[in-house]
Structure 1
Amino acid sequence: MEDASLEVTVREIAATLCSFETTAGNEAPAQEWLQATLESAGFEVYTWEADAERLANHPSFPDDPALIETDGRPSVGGILEFGYPDAGKTLVLNGHVDVVPAGRGWEGDPFEPRWVDGRLTARGAADMKSGLAACVGAAKALESSSTSLDGRIVVESVVGEEEGGIGAAAAALENPYPFDRDAAIVAEPTELRPVTATEGSLMVEIGLEGRSAHAATRWRGASVLEAFEDLRAGLEAFERERTERVVHPLYEEFQIPWPVCIGRLEAGEWASSVADELTASVRVGVAPGETVASVERELQAHLEGIAREADWGGIVGPTMERFSIQFEPGVTESDESVVRALQTGMERTGLSDTSPRGATYGADSRHYVGAGIPTVVFGPGSIEQAHFPEETIEWDSVERAMSVIAETARVYLSS
C-alpha cells in the first residue's frame, strides 16, 4: 500500500468490502479477505471470535447463549507500531463489516458496487464499509508520513454490530491484544462531525389478550385491536412526556430525542374471528445518563396506568417483556484527550464545525466506553443513507475523513 496509490487502494478496499454480502453470520469471507489485505500492507493482524456464553452474561444480550450467533464470525484487528510503541499510546480505529439485508428499492444488485459521479452506491457504502476503509488509509498515511511518533494504531473490523455489537462487546470484555487500549474512534457515518454521546434503546414486546368470537357475532368477543388504540395513544403520550422532561445539551437539536417506535405488530388468527391476542415489538430511546433498566421501570409503570384508566372489558394486559438486544447509552466527556485531538485534527484539515454532538442511534462506541476506553464517533457519510435502498456515499467525504483521522491520530499519539 504505497503512499502514491493510497487513494486508489482505499477506494478498492471500500468497493471490495461492499461486494461481500456480509449480513449476520456471513462476514467470514470478507474478514478473511481484509485480513490478507492488512497483512500484505504491513499490519500485524489479530483475530477473535466472541464467546456466546460470555455474552449471555452481558446485560445487552439475551440470557440464552443459543440466541447469540458467534461461531464462524471472526473480528479482525490490524496493528501498526510507531517508534517505541510501549512508550506511547494506543488508538483504536474501529468499524463494523456487517450490514443489514438489502431489501427492496434498488436499481441494481446491492452487492455490485457502482461508481457514479464520485459516489459509491452499494449496501454498506455508508454504514459503514467506506468508514472502515478510511481507517485503513488513515493508518497507512500516518505511517508513511511520520518518523517521530511512539505508540500504536489498531484498525478493527468487527462483526455483529447490527445485532448489538458482538465483536466489539467481546473485545471490550476481554482484550484481544497483548497491550492496553487508550482511546478509540468509531468511524460510523456522522457527516464529518464529532459525536460524543450515543443513545441507548430498550427493546420490549408488549402483549394483550382478549376473547375470540365468530365474526358473525363479534360483539360477544373482546378485540385486542380496540384496546391497542388506547395503548398506542398511551405510548405516544409517554414519548411526549419524556421529550419534555428528559433533557440533554447534546440533544436539543432533535424534535424527538428519545423516540418510541412500534416497529412490528402481530394480532389475531383468522379473518372471521375476533382478534384475541396481540404482540407489539417496541423500541424506546434511552438518554445519556439513564439506564435501560430505569426506562424499563418507567415504561412498566406507564403501561399499568394505561390499563387502570382504560375500559377494556375482557382484555388482559398489557404484559411487557424484553426481547432482542438492549443498547445502553454511551458518553465520552468533551474534555477527553481523544475528543480534543479529533477537534484539532478537524481544524488542521479545514473543518470548522468541531462542536460535540449526540446521536439518536446506538453504536459500538458504548462497549468501549463501558470498558473505560474513551471513544468518539466520527466518519464520512450520513446516517440517513444507512439501511436505505440505493445506499450511497460521496467519495470526497471519505477522503476528507481519512485525512482528519490520520491527523487526529498524529495529534493523539504526540500528546
Structure 2
Amino acid sequence: MDFDMRAFAADLCRFASTAGEEAAAADFVEETLDDLGFETYAWGADADLLADHPSFPDDLDETDVAGRRSVGGVLELGGADAAGTGRGDPDGDGTPAVVLNGHIDVVPAEPAEWSSDPFEPVWGEASEGIDGNADGDALTARGAADMKSGVAACVGAALDVRAAAEGGGLDLAPGGLRVVVEAVAGEEDGGYGAATAALANPYPFERDAAIVAEPTELRPVVATEGSLMARLELTGRSAHAATRWRGEDVLPRFEAIRGAFAELETERGESVTHPLYGEFPVPWPVVCGTVEAGSWASTVPAALTAEFRIGVAPGETVDEVEAAFRERLDEVAAEDPWLRERPPTFERFSVQFEPAEVAVDEPIVEAARAGLVDAGLPNPEPTGATYGADSRHYVAAGIPTVLLGPGTVTEAHYPDETIAWDEVEKGRAAIAAAVGRFAARYSGASAK
C-alpha cells in the first residue's frame, strides 16, 4: 500500500475527535498502519492507573475514560527480526526503539467562528504568517496544526526510515531498530493515552527515546511548562440593588485577588528564571479563564466561582506553585474583615500538568538537531515552550523525549486552524533524518 500523506492527514481531520470521542480516529489510524505493514497495538486509558497519577483527579472511573482509545504501530528493521528468525529481545537489549508520537484528540470548534466546516478539510493557498511560508498548499481544519498533520508526518517518516533501511542507506545496530508510531488520545485534557502508555508499556520491548511531533515550527523543544488548574470560590451576602450597602459584594474582592495574582505573576517572572524562557514576555502566565458571579442584575452578587490556569516552570512542582498562590490568597483575605471570617476556597480541578525537561545533550536531542541539518533545514538552538505536552509522561518514565514537529502553536485551538503543507513535508524529512541519526549512534558507525 502506498502512503498518501495528504489524504491521510485530511481524512484524519474529518474525525471530530474531541475528548472521549477519539475511538473512531484511532481505528482509522490502526487500519492504516496495518495496511502499511506495521505491527499494531491498541490500549485504552486505565482509570485505576491514572487515579494514582498526579496529573489526574483521584476519583476517575470507567465513565471518565470511555472512548479514550490509543494505537501504536511498530516497524522492526534489520537484525534478527528482519530475517524472520524471531521477534527480537523483549527487553530491548541491542535493538534500540524510538517512538514517534502524536495525539489525535482535538479541542472543540465553534463553527460560527470558522469560514468553513471545522471537520471538513479545505485545501487552499498558504498565506503569510502560517509557518512563515506564503507559497504552496495549506490545510485548514480543526486539528490540522494541533496535531493531526504531525501524526501524518510521523507515519511518513517511519516509512522513509524503513525504505532507507531496506535500501542499505541506514546504519543499524546488530539487533536492528524499532520505529514506533503512536496516535494517542486525551492529550488536551491531561494525556490519557500517553500517561497510560508510559506507566503500562503496551509493547513487548523497552523504549529508548521519543519524538513528539507537536507544532514547534521545526524547532527542538526540550522543556515544557507545567500548569496548575485551580478553582476559586468566594461567598458574599446578597441584597437588593437599591440598598446595596446592606450586601457584601464579591466582585471587588475578586478583583483584589485577581490583582494580587497578577502581581505574583510579575514577581515570578523576575525571580523564577530559566535559560530557555528568556524570550517570552510572560514566562509563567496566569490566566483566569472563567468567572461566574451573581444571580440577578438587581441583586448584589453573593457568590463567585473563577477558574485559573497558572504556569509552572521547569524545575518547579505543581505543589510548590499552588502553595505560593495560596499564600498570596491568604494575604488578601487577611486584609478584608469579611473574608477573614469567610475564607475563600482555592481547590484543584480537572488535570494538572507537571513541567518536564530533557538535557540538550541527550542523544535524541542531538539526533533531532542533526536531522534538521540532514533535511536541509535550519538548526536552531533548543528552546522551551509555555505549554504542556505528552512528552512529560515519557520523560517521567525515563524515556528521553524531544518535541519537534511542523506547524505553529499560534494556530492551535484557533478558528480556521491552518498548516502549510510544505512545512509538513519538511517535518517528515526532519523526523526521518533524526531517527536515522539516532540509529547510527547504536550502530557503531559514524552518522551520515
* TM-score in same-fold range (> 0.5): yes
1:10 aligns with 2:16: no
Contact 2:333 2:340 in 1 (8 A): no
Report what 2:97 is aligned to.
90
Q: CA deviation at 1:322?
A: 0.5
Contact 1:227 1:312 in 2 (8 A): no
| C-alpha spacing 1:11/1:270, structure 2 compared with 1 (3 Å) | same
Give, in whole Å, the separation in 1 of the partners of 2:13 and 2:64: 22
Report what 2:113 is aligned to.
105
Q: Which amino acid aligns with 2:102?
A: G
Alpha-carbon displacement from aligned partner over 1:50-104 (angstroms, at most 9, x marks no partner): 1112111111100111387212321000000111264321000000000000114
C-alpha RMSD of matched pairs (Å): 1.4
Report what 1:414 is aligned to.
440
| C-alpha spacing 1:125/1:313, structure 2 compared with 1 (3 Å) | closer
Contact 1:209 1:315 in 2 (8 A): no
1:131 aligns with 2:150: yes
Alpha-carbon displacement from aligned partner over 1:316-372 (angstroms, at most 9, x marks no partner): 222210001000001011010000011110111122233110000000000000000
Report what 2:202 is aligned to.
176
Alpha-carbon displacement from aligned partner over 1:171-220 (angstroms, at most 9, x marks no partner): 01110000000000000000010000000000101111111112221110
Deviates more, 1:396-405 or 1:267-276: 267-276
Q: Superposition pairs for residues 9-408 of structure 1, below 5 Å?
A: 9-66=4-61, 69-84=64-79, 86=89, 87-103=94-110, 104-117=112-125, 118-146=137-165, 147=168, 148-149=171-172, 150-310=176-336, 312=338, 316-408=342-434
Give, in whole Å, the separation in 2 of the partners of 1:36 and 1:164: 26
Aligned partner of residue 64 in structure 2, secondary structure: coil
Contact 1:91 1:181 in 2 (8 A): yes
Deviates more, 1:306-315 or 1:209-218: 306-315
Q: Which amino acid aligns with 1:72?
A: G
Give, in whole Å, the separation in 2 of the partners of 1:75 and 1:313: 47
Deviates more, 1:127-136 or 1:47-56: 47-56
Q: CA deviation at 1:309?
A: 2.9
Alpha-carbon displacement from aligned partner over 1:272-301 (angstroms, at most 9, x marks no partner): 221111111001000000000010111111
Contact 2:225 2:386 in 1 (8 A): yes
| C-alpha spacing 1:406/1:313, structure 2 compared with 1 (3 Å) | closer
Contact 2:71 2:183 in 1 (8 A): yes
Contact 1:264 1:281 in 2 (8 A): yes
Give, in whole Å, the separation in 2 of the partners of 1:249 and 1:341: 21
Give, in whole Å, the separation in 1 of the partners of 2:62 and 2:304: 23
Deviates more, 1:123-132 or 1:103-112: 103-112
Aligned partner of residue 179 in structure 1, secondary structure: coil
Contact 1:211 1:275 in 2 (8 A): yes
Q: CA deviation at 1:314?
A: 8.5
Contact 2:333 2:339 in 1 (8 A): no
Q: Which amino acid aligns with 2:253?
A: A
Give, in whole Å, the separation in 1 of the partners of 2:243 and 2:363: 69
Give, in whole Å, the separation in 2 of the partners of 1:36 and 1:207: 47
Q: Which amino acid aligns with 1:100?
A: V
Aligned partner of residue 296 in structure 1, secondary structure: helix
Give, in whole Å, the separation in 1 of the partners of 2:341 and 2:429: 60
Give, in whole Å, the separation in 2 of the partners of 1:55 and 1:412: 31
The alignment covers a number of residue pairs equal to: 410
Q: Which amino acid aligns with 1:177?
A: Y
Give, in whole Å, the separation in 2 of the partners of 1:211 and 1:110: 44
Alpha-carbon displacement from aligned partner over 1:244-281 (angstroms, at most 9, x marks no partner): 10000000000000000000001112222211111110
Give, in whole Å, the separation in 1 of the partners of 2:234 and 2:27: 47
Q: Give ranges in structure 2 of 5+ residues lacking alignment.
A: 80-87, 126-136, 442-448
Contact 2:224 2:389 in 1 (8 A): yes
TM-score by length of structure 2 reads 0.89
Deviates more, 1:77-86 or 1:250-259: 77-86
Give, in whole Å, the separation in 2 of the partners of 1:242 and 1:68: 38
Aligned partner of residue 65 in structure 2, secondary structure: coil
Contact 2:99 2:207 in 1 (8 A): yes
Q: Which amino acid aligns with 1:48?
A: W
Q: Give ranges in structure 1 of 5+ residues lacking alignment.
A: none
Q: CA deviation at 1:18?
A: 0.3
Report what 2:85 is aligned to.
none
Aligned partner of residue 155 in structure 1, secondary structure: strand
Give, in whole Å, the separation in 2 of the partners of 1:96 and 1:49: 14
* Percent identity for Structure 1 against Structure 2: 57
Contact 1:227 1:315 in 2 (8 A): no
Deviates more, 1:238-247 or 1:307-316: 307-316
Contact 2:68 2:192 in 1 (8 A): no
